[in-house]
Amino acid sequence: MPEPRTWQLTAGSAALGLVLAAAAVTAAGPWDGGQRTAERARAAAPTAGGTRHAPPPAPAAPRRPAPAPSAPGVLTALRAPTPNASTAPAGRAADLAAVLVPLLADPGLGPLRTASVVDTATGRQLYGEGAGTPMTPASTVKIATTAAALSALGPEHRIATTVTAAPDGKGITLTGGGDPTLDPARLKTLAADTARALKARGHTSVRLTYDTSLYRGPALHPIGPNENIAPVVALMTREGRLDDSHSGPAPRTADPAGDTATAFAGLLTAAGIEVTGDPAPGRTPQADPLALTHSAPLGDLVERTLTNSDNDLAEALARQTALARRQPASFQGAENAVRDELTRLGVPVAGARFADGSGLDRRDRVSAALLTGLLTRAADPARPALRPLLTGLPVGGFTGTLAGRFDTAPAGAGLVRAKTGTLTGVNTLAGTVVTADGRLLAFAFLAGRTVSAPEAQPALDRLSAALAGQK
């Protein structure tokens, strides 16, 4: 049941939030609804899913990931005074319910809907409707995936891709560490560093093997070959994309690791090292790397995952969590590790299922209470490692998967930050909102058996926007 609380009015805070949000406008990421091509082909199959969603030293002092531009306005609410529950207006919970219940009844949300609204300053649930009921979350499961990764590894962790020489110096191995953000520029630098190290050892001709053994189990996501995700392997360049896109659906290679190794061989040749034969799978020698390259800090990767609803990166972060917790880097190992990490964070995991890290798998299950619990912990000043969970959320009407939203709910534009979720028949939204009195609320609205995204998404937007007007 909802609980009452004290609400303090900060004059003009809503207007200030809009001003701060306007400063947050950046290049828009993909619209979740645009990632449903494969879903339409599988609409009649209830078990299918889809989202529409000398080596150089490691960096000496990795920076803490910079918050998204609008983060200061959102996080200011965390410094607001803690309300005194003993003086909370008796009708406050009823008032909030009176606003939300009619909006939850919108036919566009279908017959299955759950909700949770929590005051991040106190951790109190202000409104709940089936809040503990596990539902198919679609891409809002990325909140759980990224929270687990941040908790297990911290925001400064970086993923390495290495090159190691065989003892005889006649062969080298390119080893994938699970970084799907490796790009041609970094691969070129890695090849140049490798060539320099080989020449220093007197070698100008080598065999090239590549090692993807860090990951276990099937590489193909259960959804099958799909434009929303590449095969999940430990070595790839640009998420296996075959076009110039940086996010959203795209044609994908069936062999990301082989393509990356072939490109690396060409770059070595250009750098003056002859590569004999074709690159082939192999194992990494027991030796220090000749050269290596690192991903951006994990906090940055989390922000990218949430803003763009990046499926490939979400699966990589789930596996990084598995590795950190000494589980196999597989779908099953990642599921076990994420669940264990969320249990350590103290959120309700009863009935939860993390069949994948991206939300493409319809077997995923989370509750609205689990999502608001994670968002509330990320807002806790005592847990700074989780802060990218908030700063990475798209800004309503401005960035990422929310750039094209809130047309029918302008009151929430700039004040709502949320992760979207879209599968055929499933529409979800979970995030934070700054209220009219400057408070920060966490919310999660999950809807199942929806008729269409064009009907469900505006209904979800109106629900979150209604919270922005609360005092």
In a domain, 4, yes or no: no
In a domain, 196, yes or no: yes
pLDDT at 418 over 50: yes
**Measured distance CA(264)–CA(270) in Å, rounded:** 10
281 and 196, same domain (yes or no): yes
Q: What is the pLDDT of residue 92?
A: 64
179 and 125, same domain (yes or no): no
Percent over 90 (pLDDT), the chain = 78
Confidence class for position 286, pLDDT limits 50, 70, 90: very high
Helix (H) or strand (E) holding 200: helix 184-200
Write out the catalytic residue numbers. Answer: 139, 142, 309
* Among candidate residues 294, 317, 343, the one where a domain is terminated: 294
Q: How many domains does the chain have?
A: 2
125 and 65, same domain (yes or no): yes
Q: Quick check: 101 and 425 in contact, CB under 8 A? A: no
109 and 226, same domain (yes or no): no
Q: If you average pLDDT over every residue of the chain, what do you get? A: 85
Winning range, highest mean pLDDT, from 23-37, 38-52, 160-174 = 160-174
pLDDT at 77 over 90: no
CATH at residue 226: 3.50.80.20
Tell me the average pLDDT across 337-364.
Answer: 98
* Among candidate residues 251, 266, 294, the one where a domain is terminated: 294
264 and 169, same domain (yes or no): yes
Q: What is the pLDDT of residue 23?
A: 36
96 and 174, same domain (yes or no): no
129 and 164, same domain (yes or no): no
Residue-wise burial string across 26-43, b where 16 or more C-beta atoms lie within 10 A, e elsewhere = eebbbbbbebbebbeebe
If one compares 87 and 145, the residue with the highest pLDDT of the two is: 145
CATH at residue 311: 3.40.710.10
Confidence class for position 470, pLDDT limits 50, 70, 90: confident
pLDDT tens digit sequence for 365-414? 999 999 999 999 999 999 999 999 999 999 999 999 999 999 999 999 99
User: What residue ranges in 213-320 does DSSP mark as E strands?
Assistant: 274-281, 291-294
pLDDT at 68 over 70: no
pLDDT tens digit sequence for 237-266? 999 999 999 999 999 999 999 999 999 999
pLDDT at 417 over 60: yes
Q: What is the pLDDT of residue 192?
A: 98
pLDDT at 87 over 60: no
344 and 277, same domain (yes or no): no
Q: Quick check: 417 and 470 in contact, CB under 8 A? A: no
> Which of 220, 253, 304, 229 lies closest to 50, judged by CA?
229
pLDDT tens digit sequence for 213-238? 999 999 999 999 999 999 999 999 99
Prediction pTM value = 0.83
Secondary structure of residue 350 in the 3-state scheme: coil
Q: Quick check: 440 and 74 in contact, CB under 8 A? A: yes
Q: Which domain holds residue 386?
A: 13-155+298-468
279 and 388, same domain (yes or no): no
pLDDT at 84 over 70: no
304 and 417, same domain (yes or no): yes
pLDDT tens digit sequence for 120-161? 999 999 999 999 999 999 999 999 999 999 999 999 999 999
Confidence class for position 95, pLDDT limits 50, 70, 90: confident
